[in-house]
Amino acid sequence: MFVIVGYVVAFGCIFGGYIIAGGNIMVILKALPLEMLIICGGALGAFLVNNQMGVVKATFGAIPKLLKPSHYNKARYMELLALLYDILQKARKDGLMSIEKDVEAPHESQIFKKYPAVGSDHHVVEFITDYLRMMVSGNLNSHEIESLMDSEIETHHHEAHMPVGAMTRLAGALPAFGIVAAVLGVIKTMGSVGQPPAVLGGMIGSALVGTFLGIFLAYAVAEPLAGLMEQRNDEHAKEFQCIKTTLLASMQGYNPTTAIEFGRKVLYSADRPSFSELEGHVKGKK
């Protein structure tokens, strides 16, 4: 929602200010199709050359999600911590082997079904079950698991950052493609030097639209999307860090209530539930 609002404000203020200042919007609209073809076509071609197909697909797949509100909020984190509490409580009460079926078949587990917002996220479920499986096996200590968790989170963050880097590079290239469009327009104008001044002025104005569009698309469209994409990735990584901290606290002997308090503390302050909120939610889910 805020993405759409932001674009409405940006487009409205820029083009509205131009019209209020006495600018002829028809000059821009007339040149727009051809300039967009040159700039966007050139940028898309360079984007495909500059990125592997996996990054291209990830980038185009991530953009539509940015138009929706982030689901990383207080309610989701309370669900996540309540899920971890139930699993750890069951393991503490009935032994680690009691959660083996939940770990091996989470889609059939009543605990995971109890929390659909988190249980339907296969990345989160896989992360949780992989390390619970290691805890059940008992072959690794907390330091080894912590190191492995850090490596996996780092790898995940690196993979998620690839589309961000691709969008950032695209934003950096768009002004240059705007200049390319403008230069082509100037070349066209120079080939028509015998035309009346009014005609030449219109051609030069159309050429300059290319420079404007390149800069506009870079700093009002592409770069803001890259920045938002990076923030969403950081939120996703924070969820993994919360899981990591909670599971490690349990491995070190803390009871489930204390373990989820460890996990709660690593969350961003804007999305972190209070101790009483989390306690009430966990008790309400029993």
> In this predicted structure, what is the pLDDT of residue 224?
94
What's the pLDDT band for 168 if we cut at 50, 70, 90?
very high
> In this predicted structure, what is the pLDDT of residue 285?
66
Average pLDDT across the chain, whole number: 89
> In this predicted structure, what is the pLDDT of residue 221?
93
How many other C-beta atoms are found inside a 10 Å radius of the C-beta of residue 137? Answer: 10
> In this predicted structure, what is the pLDDT of residue 225?
94
Q: Is the pLDDT of residue 166 over 90?
A: yes
Under 8 Å between Cβ of 110 and 83:
no
Q: Is the pLDDT of residue 272 over 70?
A: yes
**CA 155 – CA 127 distance, rounded (Å):** 13
The pTM is what?
A: 0.83
**CA 179 – CA 278 distance, rounded (Å):** 55
pLDDT digits (tens, 9 = 90+) for 236-254: 889 999 999 999 999 888 9
How many other C-beta atoms are found inside a 10 Å radius of the C-beta of residue 37? Answer: 11
What's the pLDDT band for 1 if we cut at 50, 70, 90?
low
Domain count, the chain: 1
Percentage of residues in the chain with pLDDT exceeding 70?
Answer: 98
Q: Is the pLDDT of residue 174 over 80?
A: yes
Q: What is the domain range of residue 270?
A: 1-286
pLDDT digits (tens, 9 = 90+) for 22-37: 888 888 888 888 999 9
pLDDT digits (tens, 9 = 90+) for 7-20: 999 999 999 998 99
pLDDT digits (tens, 9 = 90+) for 127-154: 999 998 888 877 667 788 889 899 999 9
Q: At what angle do helices 53-66 and 142-190 cross, to 10 degrees?
A: 90
Under 8 Å between Cβ of 167 and 229:
yes
> In this predicted structure, what is the pLDDT of residue 286?
61
Q: Which residue has the higher pLDDT, 212 or 27?
A: 212
What's the pLDDT band for 205 if we cut at 50, 70, 90?
confident
Q: Is the pLDDT of residue 227 over 90?
A: yes
